[in-house]
Structure 1
């Protein structure tokens, strides 16, 4: 009887150990899964914690001499007290911010984001439009949308000089030149070859990462934000989500990446795939937004729709 009792106790002890191990393993798996979902955000915090940032005075960073007129001898000397930077995010839909945006001193837009049909949410005025070399064709093939309705608008093109620079004399440059001569009421500029590398150096200084080595492409948002800081005393940004938005639990509801492409890719899926991508070059949207959050404290920048 004594042996049978001891044996029973030993079996119960074994079960308790096994149950304990199973519980421990399950807990570790849950924690691992949670951490995997937050990899991007956690990488952010580590990067920001270990990388010591020296404040860059973007007001004096490069100056306006870095903008080359495509036609004529116009100069990029625009200065605005209050700017509205309207993103292409679908978060602007339903904001009814159009009138507020149009009342702002200067309105800045990106690439081929339209206003027609979306005026109640994004307004109709455009003071500056920043266009990537990859978006030139999409902008130029819709002159009625992007040029006919504009007066005294500056269009700033950015990209490698091999694609849009004067010395390239390729298809893109000829297209830009032709349009600039046709629409003389507008001012067309190309970011100079000497200024383009400065955007890369700024990215490295602010993030601690070499853009080329980390296989990153700077986004149009990066160029637009820097340009806006150069020319504006105060900036209100419409539609930009905070850097931790896509790591929230539960996951945010699906939102199209562009407000004018309702069937386009999901915004968070696009952000996370680009941030995690290691094969080929990707935009680091989330990393850039982390920098923007820091710049907001230096340069009178506020965010709305959503507010953060």
Structure 2
């Protein structure tokens, strides 16, 4: 009887382990097919913030003087740095939009046919300030009508001895007619709080760096009655088996692959990374609340 009981117990353990293994393999397979943002489970779980009412006097600090950012637009074109725009031939359509918004050091010279030439607002990360300064003929000399918004950690943006702050000050001194602003520490905290509210995850504890796309999308919703986003792929794009290799930036044809960048940043837990797919899930939610449409590709 004792041997029978032992054999029965062993059989039950084997059965349970086999069942768990099947369940694990099944769920792992599904993850590879339809991978979504790791924090997406919390999207829609909170009452939405009305981002159109975020505009305040203290949200953006002028680089020089005491100007106030008064930019307001009806329809805005938010042009991403995606290589999906190459060959689109929609440059003239973009330039006809009332306001056009670009990011970091994404150039227009040489790409006008696909992405246009007009720039109303350029949102620049602290890590891209030097890249912008390196090409003044592209970003500064031709941009007297462009509003610049620089964002970054307050300790970098407010430290008068820091390199980033001094670079931004050089921009203001060399081009005094430019309208350039720094996102205030208070507003930076609001961006963090918004991420927490939309995803249920603390940005710092989850080792997340918000992308320039996150800042730009929120600013566009603040300043524009409606937003047309060009070149941004949907959150499920990289989970499709048929997706092809595409450069992450249209101006870096030999740069990293788009989906490898998205998936790599989303899954890694050590260090700080952009959660591109999670952000796109949030953007899809915002599109239902605000007047946002996506094209090239459409979703």
TM above 0.5: yes
Q: What is the 5 A alignment of 1:63-142?
A: 63-142=56-135
Provide the residue aligned with 1:213 in structure 2. 205
The question of 1:54 aligning with 2:56 is answered no
Gaps of 5+ in 2: 1-18
Residues 1:218 and 1:148: Cα distance change in structure 2 (over 3 Å): same
Provide the residue aligned with 1:176 in structure 2. 168
SS in 2 for 1:108: strand
1:196 counterpart (165, 179, 188): 188
Aligned-partner Cα distance in 1 for 2:73–2:223: 6
Per-residue Cα deviation, 1:183-225 (whole angstroms, up to 9, x for no partner): 1231110001111111000000011111111100000000000
Contact 1:211/1:217, CA 8 A, preserved across alignment: yes
Residues 1:66 and 1:206: Cα distance change in structure 2 (over 3 Å): same
Instruction: Tell me by how many angstroms 1:53 deviates.
Output: 2.1
RCO higher in structure (CA 8 A, sep ≥6): 2
The question of 1:34 aligning with 2:36 is answered no
1:290 counterpart (236, 257, 281): 281
Residues 1:143 and 1:253: Cα distance change in structure 2 (over 3 Å): same
1:234 counterpart (226, 238, 258): 226
Contact 2:81/2:103, CA 8 A, preserved across alignment: yes
Contact 2:266/2:277, CA 8 A, preserved across alignment: yes
Residues 1:210 and 1:26: Cα distance change in structure 2 (over 3 Å): closer
**Which has the larger displacement, 59-68 or 194-203?**
59-68
Aligned-partner Cα distance in 2 for 1:154–1:171: 22
Contact 2:144/2:177, CA 8 A, preserved across alignment: yes
SS in 2 for 1:40: coil
Instruction: Tell me by how many angstroms 1:42 deviates.
Output: 7.5
Provide the residue aligned with 1:305 in structure 2. 296
**Which has the larger displacement, 56-65 or 214-223?**
56-65
Instruction: Tell me by how many angstroms 1:298 deviates.
Output: 1.3
Please say which structure displays the higher CA radius of gyration. 1
Aligned-partner Cα distance in 2 for 1:71–1:128: 17
Contact 1:64/1:77, CA 8 A, preserved across alignment: no
SS in 1 for 2:58: helix
Aligned-partner Cα distance in 2 for 1:33–1:278: 18
Aligned-partner Cα distance in 2 for 1:42–1:304: 21
Residues 1:47 and 1:180: Cα distance change in structure 2 (over 3 Å): same
The question of 1:278 aligning with 2:269 is answered yes
State the 4+ residue runs in structure 1 displaced beyond 3 angstroms: 24-33, 42-48
Instruction: Tell me by how many angstroms 1:265 deviates.
Output: 0.6
Contact 1:40/1:276, CA 8 A, preserved across alignment: no
Aligned-partner Cα distance in 2 for 1:232–1:266: 31
- Length-normalised TM-score, structure 1: 0.86
Residues 1:35 and 1:140: Cα distance change in structure 2 (over 3 Å): same
- Length-normalised TM-score, structure 2: 0.89
Aligned-partner Cα distance in 2 for 1:241–1:98: 19
Q: Please report the RMSD computed on the Cα atoms of aligned residues, expressed in angstroms.
A: 2.0
Residues 1:282 and 1:179: Cα distance change in structure 2 (over 3 Å): same
Instruction: Tell me by how many angstroms 1:267 deviates.
Output: 0.4
